[in-house]
Amino acid sequence: MPDGRAFFGLETKPPVWYAKRNMKCYDEVIDFIASGPSPSAVASFRLSDTVNKRAELLVQREKSGELTADEKSELDHYLELEHIMRLAKARARQRSPHEQSH
């Protein structure tokens, strides 16, 4: 994904925070969106176990007061992405109520 092209049409390269660490969660969501999912696929989308375990580890480290500044930034990005996906799932469910039974 990071290859010097426009990132959200705003830059010619990915932001520093993206290039600085392996943001697998973003790659998974970007690949999913690029696949042209149906509303029911959006509603049932889940990140990989690897990404979920990383997010859980960061939450545990935050609760125990062991989170570094870089980890805090990473956790913030996970939480923002989770929020965006929750909104997308809600809208997908509204647009295709007949597909909710899956």
Identify the sign of the CA torsion 20, 57, 73, 79.
Answer: positive
- Average pLDDT of every residue of the chain: 81
| Total Cβ atoms within 10 A of residue 25 | 21
pLDDT at residue 102 is higher than 50: no
Say what the pTM is. 0.68
Q: Classify the C-alpha dihedral 44-45-51-54 as positive or negative.
A: negative
For 9-65, the pLDDT digits (tens) are: 555 555 554 555 557 888 899 999 999 999 999 999 999 999 999 999 999 999 999
Q: Which of 60, 84, 54, 58 is nearest to 72 (CA)?
A: 58
Per-residue pLDDT of 68-95, as tens digits, reads 998 998 899 899 999 999 999 999 999 8
